[in-house]
Amino acid sequence: MIYQSNSITVAYLADGIAEFTFNAAGSVNKFDQQTLADCRAALNLLHADKNLKGVIYTSGKDAFIVGADITEFLGTFQQPEAELIPWIKSASDVFDLAEDLPVPTIAAIRGFALGGGFEWTLAADYRVADTTAKVGLPEVKLGLMPGFGGSVRLPRIIGADGGMEWITTGKERGADAALKEGAIDAVVAPEKLKDAALSMIKDAIAGKLNWQKKRAAKLQPLKLNKIEAMMSFNTAKGMVFANAGKHYPAPMVAVETIEAAARLDRAGAVALENASFAKLAKTTAAAAQIGLFLNDQLIKGKAKKAAKVATKDIKKAAVLGAGIMGGGIAYQSALKGVPVVMKDIADKALELGMGEATKLLNKQVERKKLDAVGMAKVIASIQPTLSMEPVKSVDIVVEAVVENPKIKGAVLKEVEELVAADAIITSNTSTISIDSLAANLKDPSRFCGMHFFNPVHQMPLVEVIRGKDTSEETVAAVVAYAARMGKSPIVVNDCPGFYVNRVLFPYFAGFSKLVLDGADFAKVDKVMEKTFGWPMGPAYLLDVVGLDTAFHCTDVMAAGFPTRMGKVENDPVALMYQAQRYGQKNGVGFYAYSKDAKGKPKKDSDAVSYDLLAKAGASGVEFSADDIIARCMVPMINEVIRCLEEGIVASAAEADMGLIYGLGFPPFRGGPLRYADTIGLANFVALADKYAHLGEIYQVTDKTRAMAASGAVFYPV
């Protein structure tokens, strides 16, 4: 044994050939500060070992190394930028130490080698992978760039264009794709990985492989002439700007860093990478995106826990109510391996539901994510029916009929009499109280809400709504089923609008008041999209949701929160509804809609909507972008805080992820509560106070004011 710690062991495998094995105490290998210190100690011993002829890097787990330990990042990144540079340099120095071993080295990759894990393999002279390997540099997804020499080594191994594409997109590659691009030197069957690595290292030791030449290329400047460099970097910058935009700085910083380092040797290039990494670590985008990753892990962890404790195994499901929504739910269930009965009272609705499922499956086939046999299997596991008879045998029912409490109540009552006593019953209602619907059932303990978002196949969120009588066993089974469907379930407590729709309506109310005060709704949309970062501004979102749907939901919210969400006089939503302008569904709303060349909805300005609004309030008043953002966002953030204080949502993490996954809240802002932390609660309170005269939706809670006064945050590091 040459070296041993809790995370690595180094021992001789054959004559002069050391095996350097990553095998941390947990379920996966990752780079934390202790592991890096262990690597440094082991490498120093190897550098001093006169008998050493070669080194093979392996893993004692099913994955090589999944990356750096993200949980250490947010606290560390609180340090000043000047202190972060030596911190990241000390880590990247370990990778240089590995690359500088005086003998040939090879990484034997199985499973995931991502981020720092892949950067370690790039420091080796050769990389052999088995067919299970997945490699990549996903740091941009955390608002960062590679920090352990990856932006230096990968472009010198596969070329500048390929290196920048890998780094700026963060996409991982399978073993064969990485081999084709030159990032991996060989691919073998899993059982042959170690033997292949040993054979290659022996060939390198014997001089049959020129490992010195391969290493030298990584230590020198990029091999590009001036014209090639200009074309390569300008093209990369154009692509990054078009795809990432101004709100995500990491991809552009990565390109600019690789460009600046192109004429430098490894030492100079890595120094630039260190500085750029530290710069990005201090951005709000990095804090937000790292926070999102950790929040997502929390939600996934809760879903895994639910699956372990759930006493009801969901083997077959039923969706009551076909159409677009029902078809989407049925498709998602069947696609993920849970057969489903899709029941409706009309053939036309069943045809629409099956048509939706078939359309989505065809897209999977077109994208080569599914073959014809797989598609046929999924279709066969969706049973359309006009009869309730096939519903009798299911384990869970998702009621998705029209959003009417009386109709839903009647359907739920009927289905309870039909299914087994231990079958779970859920409602895909978007606003109707779960407790009020539960009153129709003899056993409300097996009933909860299961609110999907449209389009079902694209929107990650499922709100699992716990009623006052819902059992924890029911909640656990539904969370597990939602996760199995590939969704991110968040458990919330019952109230009008639940969580997502409850906080959405103050946002719409702020928008309505702004329009009545004379703002141009199209300018409001532009600011909320281009400046704040929403995928759709409020007027466009209302058109997509349906102004008839929004109008009817307003009644529910006004009844539930009469002082805060009472109906707005001359509400633009009501004006559009009364003029039968329902949005995209009938071609006119705030905007007029037509089809573009690809048959997709295209929105245009419509003089009729402007005339309607001009009669209801002021018009032609100019508002600054800051005013527009504040008047729309303060009401939403206030309502999110109220939901957290009232226990409607369990944590800041789930509150933020609910809006990111359910509404498309700008990820680079991290969610409404992360955003409030970023601007500072004291600043948020002062901003809200500026508009408090506009109504209760702008008035902060006493607890928020107290938190601001004490310097508290929603996300303590």
Hey, which residues are catalytic here?
A: 451
* 466 touches 303 (CB < 8 A): no
* 57 touches 254 (CB < 8 A): no
CA 22 to chain centre: 29
- Of the candidates 163, 127, 129, 154, the one whose C-alpha atom is nearest the C-alpha of residue 218 is 154
| 625-646 and 702-710 helices, crossing angle to 10° | 100
How far apart are alpha carbons 663 and 681 in whole angstroms?
A: 23
DSSP 31: B
For 45, 526, 625, 663, the CA distances from 685, given in Å and listed in that order, are: 57, 26, 19, 24
For residues 116-149, one letter each, b for 16 or more C-beta atoms within 10 angstroms of the residue's C-beta and e for the rest, the string is bbbbbbbbbbbbbbbebbbbbbbbbbbbbbbbbb
Q: How many CB atoms lie within 10 A of CB 244?
A: 17
- Of the candidates 227, 66, 93, the one whose C-alpha atom is nearest the C-alpha of residue 160 is 227
For 7, 63, 74, 275, the CA distances from 91, given in Å and listed in that order, are: 16, 21, 17, 13
Residue 455, preceding bond cis, omega within 30 degrees? Answer: yes
Mind spelling out the 3-state secondary structure of 461-472? Answer: EEEEEECCCCCH
* 513 touches 694 (CB < 8 A): yes
How far apart are alpha carbons 633 and 539 in whole angstroms?
A: 14
* 536 touches 529 (CB < 8 A): yes
Amino acid at 634: V
Rg of the chain on CA atoms, in Å: 29
3-state DSSP assignment of residue 56: strand
3-state DSSP assignment of residue 20: strand
705 CB burial (10 A radius; 0-12, 13-18, 19+): middle
Residues in the chain, total: 717
50: Cβ–Cβ under 8 A, 6 or more apart, which residues?
Answer: none
413 CB burial (10 A radius; 0-12, 13-18, 19+): middle
Torsion of CA 203, 207, 209, 210, to 10 degrees: 150
- Of the candidates 453, 545, 530, the one whose C-alpha atom is nearest the C-alpha of residue 490 is 453
How far apart are alpha carbons 115 and 266 in whole angstroms?
A: 19
| Helix spans in 386-471 (H) | 405-418, 434-438
Mind spelling out the 3-state secondary structure of 510-564? Answer: HHHHHHHCCCCHHHHHHHHHHHHCCCCCHHHHHHHHCHHHHHHHHHHHHHHCCCC
* Token reading at 221: 């400047």
How far apart are alpha carbons 178 and 174 in whole angstroms?
A: 6
- Of the candidates 257, 252, 292, the one whose C-alpha atom is nearest the C-alpha of residue 274 is 257
- Of the candidates 186, 219, 189, 218, the one whose C-alpha atom is nearest the C-alpha of residue 203 is 186
Detail the DSSP E strand segments found in 192-322.
Answer: 317-320
